[in-house]
Amino acid sequence: MTPKTPPHQLQLNEHGQLRHFLTTEGLSTELLTEILDTAESFVSVGKQAVKKVPLLRGKTVVNLFFEASTRTRTTFELAAKRLSADVLNIDISTSATSKGESLMDMLWNLEAMDSDMFVVRHQASGAPHFIAEHVTPSVAVINAGDGRHAHPTQAMLDMYTIRRHKGDFAKLNVAIVGDVLHSRVARSQVHALRGLNVGEVRVIGPKTLIPADFEGLGAKIYYDMAKGLKDVDVVIMLRLQKERMQSALLPSESEFYRLYGLTMEKLAFAKPDAIIMHPGPINRGVEIESAVADCSRSVILQQVNYGIAVRMAVLSMAMSGQTEVAAQEGGV
What is the CA angle 259-261-262, rounded to 5?
120
Confidence (pLDDT) at 332? 41
3-state secondary structure of 86: strand
Judgement on whether residues 296 and 163 belong to the same structural domain of the protein:
yes
Looking at per-residue pLDDT, the higher value among 253 and 5 belongs to: 253
121 is in an annotated binding site: yes
Count of domains observed in the chain: 2
Domain containing residue 65? 7-150+305-326
Rounded CA-CA distance 182/206 in Å is: 13
Residue 239 assigned ligand-binding role: yes
Taking residues 124-141, what's their average pLDDT? 91
Please, how many CA atoms are within 13 Å of residue 226, restricted to the half-sphere of its CB?
2
Whether the per-residue pLDDT at 245 is higher than 90: the answer is no
Cβ atoms of residues 312 and 45 within 8 Å: yes
- 274-302: pLDDT as tens digits: 999 999 889 999 999 999 999 999 999 99
For residues 209 and 266, state if they share a domain: yes
**Contact by Cβ (8 Å): 270, 229:** yes
CA distances from residue 321 to 15, 44, 137 in whole angstroms, order as listed: 9, 24, 11
Q: Of 87-101, 106-120, 304-318, where does mean pLDDT reach its minimum?
A: 87-101
**Which of 18-27, 60-69, 239-248, 318-327 is modeled with the greatest confidence?**
18-27
Report the alpha-carbon distance of residue 116 to residue 203 in Å, rounded.
38
* Predicted pLDDT of residue 325: 59
**281 assigned ligand-binding residue:** yes
Residue 280 marked as a ligand binder: yes
What integer is the mean pLDDT of 114-118?
95
With respect to residue 135, please indicate whether it lies within any of the assigned structural domains. yes
Sorting pLDDT into bands at 50, 70 and 90, what band is 68? confident
CATH number at residue 322: 3.40.50.1370
pLDDT at residue 1 is higher than 70: no
Confidence band, pLDDT 50/70/90 cuts, at residue 331: very low
288 by DSSP, 3-state: which? strand
Q: For position 251, what pLDDT does the model report?
A: 65
Residue 206 is assigned to a ligand binding site: no
What's the whole-number mean pLDDT along residues 33-43? 97
Question: Taking the CB of residue 212, how many other CB atoms lie within 10 A of it?
Answer: 9
In a domain, 178, yes or no: yes
Sheet of 200-204, strands arranged across: 220-222, 200-204, 173-177, 234-237, 275-277
Identify whether residues 282 and 322 lie together within a single domain: no
Residue 241 domain flag: yes
Confidence bin at 107 (pLDDT 50/70/90): confident
Q: Please tell me the predicted confidence (pLDDT) of residue 2.
A: 57
154 known ligand binder: yes
pLDDT in tens, 155-177: 999 999 999 999 999 999 999 99
Are residues 108 and 36 located together in one domain of the fold?
yes
Percentage of residues in the chain having pLDDT higher than 90: 69
